[in-house]
Amino acid sequence: MASTMDGLTTEQRDVIALVRDFVEREIIPVAHHLEYDDTYPEAIVAKMKELGFFGFAIDEQWGGAGLNMETYARVCEEIARGWMSITGVINTHFIVAFLLQQFGTDEQRQRFLPKMATGEYHAAFSMSEPNCGSDVQAIRTRAVRDNGEYVIDGTKMWVTNGERSTVVATLVKTDPSAKPAHKGMACILAEKRYPGLSASKHINKLGYKGVETTELVFDGNRQPEANLLGGVEGRGFQQMMAAIEVGRINVAARGVGVAQRAFELALAYAQERQTFGKPIAEHQAIQFKLADMATKIEAARLLTQKAARTKDRGERTDLESGMAKLFATETCMEVVNEAMRIHGGYGFSREFEIEQLYRDAPLLCIGEGTNEIQRIIIAKRLLEKARG
Which is the catalytic residue, given 77, 320, 353, 368?
A: 368
Average pLDDT of 119-128?
95
Average pLDDT of 140-159?
96
> What is the C-alpha to C-alpha distance for residues 131 and 14, in angstroms, rounded to an integer?
44
All CATH 1.10.540.10 domain ranges of the chain, comma separated, are 10-118
Task: Give 7-53 pLDDT, tens digit per residue.
Answer: 778 888 999 999 999 999 999 999 999 999 999 999 999 999 999 99
pTM: 0.94
Give the domain 10-118 fold.
Butyryl-Coa Dehydrogenase, subunit A; domain 1 (1.10.540)
Give the domain 123-234 fold.
Butyryl-CoA Dehydrogenase, subunit A; domain 2 (2.40.110)
* Per-residue pLDDT, 12: 87
Task: Give 313-352 pLDDT, tens digit per residue.
Answer: 999 999 999 999 999 999 999 999 999 999 999 999 999 9
* Per-residue pLDDT, 131: 84
> What is the C-alpha to C-alpha distance for residues 339 and 261, in angstroms, rounded to an integer?
10
* Per-residue pLDDT, 6: 65
Q: Using DSSP, how many helices (H) and how many strands (E) does the chain show? A: 11, 9
| Whether residue 368 lies in the annotated active site | yes
Using CB atoms within 10 Å of the CB of residue 171, give its burial: 0 to 12 exposed, 13 to 18 middle, 19+ buried: buried
All CATH 2.40.110.10 domain ranges of the chain, comma separated, are 123-234
Is the pLDDT at 57 greater than 60? The verdict is: yes
Dihedral angle over CA of 47, 48, 51, 54, nearest 10: -150
Task: Give 208-223 pLDDT, tens digit per residue.
Answer: 999 999 999 999 999 9
Bridge-based pairing of strands 274-275 and 213-224 is unpaired
Is the pLDDT at 3 greater than 50? The verdict is: no
| DSSP string for residues in 11-63 | HHHHHHHHHHHHIIIIIHHHHHHHHHHT---HHHHHHHHHHTGGGTTS-GGGT
All CATH 1.20.140.10 domain ranges of the chain, comma separated, are 238-386
Give the domain 238-386 fold.
Butyryl-CoA Dehydrogenase, subunit A; domain 3 (1.20.140)
Task: Give 228-276 pLDDT, tens digit per residue.
Answer: 999 999 999 999 999 999 999 999 999 999 999 999 999 999 999 999 9
* Per-residue pLDDT, 200: 85
* Per-residue pLDDT, 1: 44
| Structure confidence at residue 133 as a pLDDT band (50, 70, 90) | low
Q: What is the rounded average pLDDT for all residues in the chain? A: 94
> What is the C-alpha to C-alpha distance for residues 210 and 206, in angstroms, rounded to an integer?
12
Dihedral angle over CA of 232, 235, 240, 245, nearest 10: -120
Is the pLDDT at 80 greater than 50? The verdict is: yes
The residue ranking higher by pLDDT, 137 or 59, is 59
